[in-house]
Structure 1
Amino acid sequence: MKIGIVLNPASGGRGKKLFWSTLRRAIEARFTDLSLRETKGFGDAGRFGRELADDGADLVIAVGGDGTIGEVAGGILKSQRPATAFSFIATGTGCDFARNFPISRDPAKIAEGLMSPSVRQIDAGLLTCDDEDGDTVTRHFANIASFGVSGHIVRAVNEARTGQRLPGPMVFLFHSLLQILRYKPRNIRLRLDGEDVYDGPITAVAVANGAWFGGGMKVAPDADVADGLFDVVIIRGAGRLKVLSLMNSIYGGGHVRSPLVSIHRARLVEAWPICKEPIPIDSDGEAPGKLPARFEMLAGVLGLKI
């Protein structure tokens, strides 16, 4: 079995790096044909994932945070062998994609699981938007893409990652509070499967394949990574105190009972700004661009092995 590994060496604190070191030895004890690529910057993970799949890897493993996982998955899907099996080892700041699965923390069990022929087909999203220079970009996402205050939060978190010593969820919590205090609701138009469903101010909209984002916020409690549908969570614009109160309940999913929140299901999501201010997008913890944007569901395209 030929294994390709894409490692983000900057991801995770000391504990997660020690865990990966132990797991790596367990993998090397079971597989002899290994190819390891280490990322140095944005875009490397996607390129390496595509190259490893094209080179005939039977399994490509992403080791890093949600951004690395999403990039590697996208690289596989853009390769000439998009059915190549995919796996991940979550070592990042938020590790939200991993929360969707019952994953062992025993390195030996994880390595044994990689030897199994069983592969689960899961969904992925395809985002099309404009980057900061106005050029059109396309990007796959494995977990969640969102826009509004969440786009500002992910930029602040990414800028703070270098040298940060706080646990991942605390980093997200701190910057979430800070950005909410600074944020003014932006007006957008939202269309789901060809039908206009909302026109007005938002705090955030999450286009969710998985259930969690933001370092443990259960924004889409009923999301299923294999049902062929996005859960689209609209958090309408409101004053800072109301948003902060709502945020207090989002970690357990209680926000869904708020009149500020509505949840819809769709295969195609289109969004446009109806304001002058840019509305940034978060895609698996990275910042690819801004509205207008299109989010397309790709049902069952990823072969996941965990």
Structure 2
Amino acid sequence: MKYLNHSKVIQRMQRRILINNLFKSLFFMATTFGIIVLAILLVQVFTEGIDYINFDFLSNRLSTVPERAGIMGAILGTLWLMAVVIPVTMILGVGTAIYNELYAKKGKLQSVIQTNIANLAGVPSIVYGILGMTIFVRSLQLGSVVLAGGLTMSLLVLPIVIVSSQEAIRAVPGFLSEGSYGLGATKWQTIKNIVLPASLPGILTGTILALSRAIGETAPLVVLGIPALLLPFPGGLLDRFTVLPMQIYYWTLDASLVREYANLASATIIVLLLMLFLLNSVAIIIRNKFQQRY
């Protein structure tokens, strides 16, 4: 009897090991497939676009003539857009997370709010474009300017920042706050001096992911009516603008007519990837410094 039980145990273990190895192989193949596809895309983009990146391409204005086309206006528009998205997203996102986690009373209302915030993270980006067009472009009559585009993109990535900030705040050990209260600190002093510094690395991680999505989105800007061919450079929040993803989108559409537009689109993708890499690198350096400190 003991021998039979021992044999069954061995068979179950072998079956579990087999299933584990099977799923491990499936996950490895899925990861490998994604890496291969990404490598093919990167090789194709760099092959087609690297020769078109020069000083004239980076400094010239947009043009209908491929040989004279430049992306300085799109670069400035992207930077102006991020100048709106970063502070709005950080202030509203972190503030909402602090209120939900540390001030709001636990109950059905907070549960409904939490569920809706989590669901908003999965709403298609074009829906946010329609919302931005209704509120900022038509109701507030801002038009297709940097401020309207930045606020629309902030709405798009705000749920990501809120959810990640709540998780980071929730991960702070409770004894840190209790020790602060025990020393006579107020609730806000505890949040400002203990909770926020300890949760800042996690908050910055979520913000990096959110900004990476915002800088590459096109659908909301298309709905807002952001132009692809804009000669004047944007110089303020109320100026019309275009961004690198919009330029890539329209040059890709024109590539079927003029081959050079495909090469220009590839070159613009390289520039966008470099900008994304630089912005993420700065954010990661700041996050690591706070992580080491706290």
Q: TM-score, normalised by structure 1?
A: 0.24
Q: Which protein, 1 or 2, shows the higher relative CO under an 8 Å CA cutoff with sep ≥ 6? A: 2
Higher helix share: 2
Q: TM-score, normalised by structure 2?
A: 0.25
- Tell which structure's C-alpha radius of gyration is larger: 2
Higher strand share: 1
